[in-house]
Chain A
Amino acid sequence: MDLADRIDAFRQILEEWLRGLYHGMISHPAYEKIEKEAEDTEDAFILACFPDAFGIPSPVSYYTAELLPYLEDEFESWERRLWDRGTYLERKGQQYHF
């Protein structure tokens, strides 16, 4: 193996490591953040659809009930997230990896 090949191999490994590092440090947490934000918006959507779950009567729950058959996944994860969520701060804090 001559020098050029070794440099090439080294650069490949380096590139892979760098990409991994970048993904792990920058892009992955960013995706995670976006996903969490998406979940939060979805939670707000479901809450706006079914505030009566918390005893707040809503003029639209009668209509939004029509969405329930299509909200199976959302509904399940909504409930799970609600149980899971101690405080809003905790939820936001989960996004930072120290």
Chain B
Amino acid sequence: MEPFVFFGGKGGVGKTTVSCAYALRCARDGQRTLVVSTDPAHSVTDVFDQPFDDAPQSVEGIDGLDAMQIDPDEEVTRHLDEIRQDLSEQVSASMVNEINRQLEMAHGTPGAYESALFDRFVDVMRNADPYDRVVFDTSPTGSTLRLLGLPDLLESWIDRLMHKRRTSIDLFEKAAVGNNEPRRVMEGDPVLARLQQRKAFFEFADSALHDDAAFFLVLNPDELSLNETERAIATLREKDLTVRGLVANKLTPSPDPDEDGRGARYLRERVETEAERLETIRSEFDPPLVAEIGWRSAEVKGDLLADVADELDIETAAEPPTHV
């Protein structure tokens, strides 16, 4: 199967648990695995009882498993600082303030968060050589889908920008009278070079997402979760990305047959409605249901995580990435 695996789904359905369990399973099967979370709530830290930051760190007690957590806020700040550094090298002091204002504005736009996350995701995919498998625990459906739609959109944007820039430089070259130096020259234009670099980055992202990534959606057996999953499958398909499988999490356990208290009757009823929902998933949804994971009464970590990992019926053997 593809080396990059994404787990997505509605908020609170247990994406982190499922991704960590799958990562654990991969590591147990001898794959060098990295699990990447974008959850600012630091749930990977909770699952493994160990703090992580944005550099891969090995998970204690599990061979071949590394984890990292990406904080979009930090990424935005880092990006801002990098550009500021360039700015102070290139731009005269009097202009720095002027441009700085523009810079801060650009990083305050609603898309900045997603862009920062996207950059980091792609970066991780690009530098994935030490790992056989990278598992992405993504943020809730909406923003992830926007994230995955970015490369296509951005590529065409950058194309248009490059075209505009080329046209204006071309005109400036033509406008240079006689032996006068043109105001801008095509050769070695840093702006074009920068745009070209970005374009290559998006092209890589696009092909990596299409050829080297598998998508799984985690859902709970309730109406809202089902609806959202249906929409997510459609949206992903629109972008030519197929969902490989669905993971049903937090299924209600059925009581023993001889029990007939109020709790047991309640559970029995729930199990029945959930069974219907699962049936709907099986018959109406296209991606197969690859795992059914029951409710745990305790937080899923340690041995419980291993239990969950056993319940996941997802292939672990990883193929090497095709685009490096």
Contact = CB atoms under 8 A, between A and B. Distances in A.
A98 interface: no
A68 B102 contact: yes
Interface residues of A, number: 37
Contacts of B284: none
B192 to A, nearest CB: 10
A34 interface: yes
Interface string B153-190: 11001101100110111011011110000010000001
B191 A71 contact: yes
Contact of B168 (A27, A42, A69, A70): A42
Contacts of A37: 171
Interface string A45-58: 10011101100011
A25 to B, nearest CB: 14
Interface stretch (B103-111, B240-248, B301-309, B311-319): B103-111
B177 A28 contact: yes
Nearest to A32: B175
Contact of A70 (B103, B150, B190): B190
12 contacts: A31-B176, A45-B161, A48-B160, A52-B106, A53-B105, A60-B158, A61-B105, A61-B106, A62-B107, A65-B83, A67-B191, A79-B98
Interface of A: 27-28, 31-32, 34-35, 37-39, 41-42, 44-45, 48-50, 52-53, 57-72, 75-76, 79
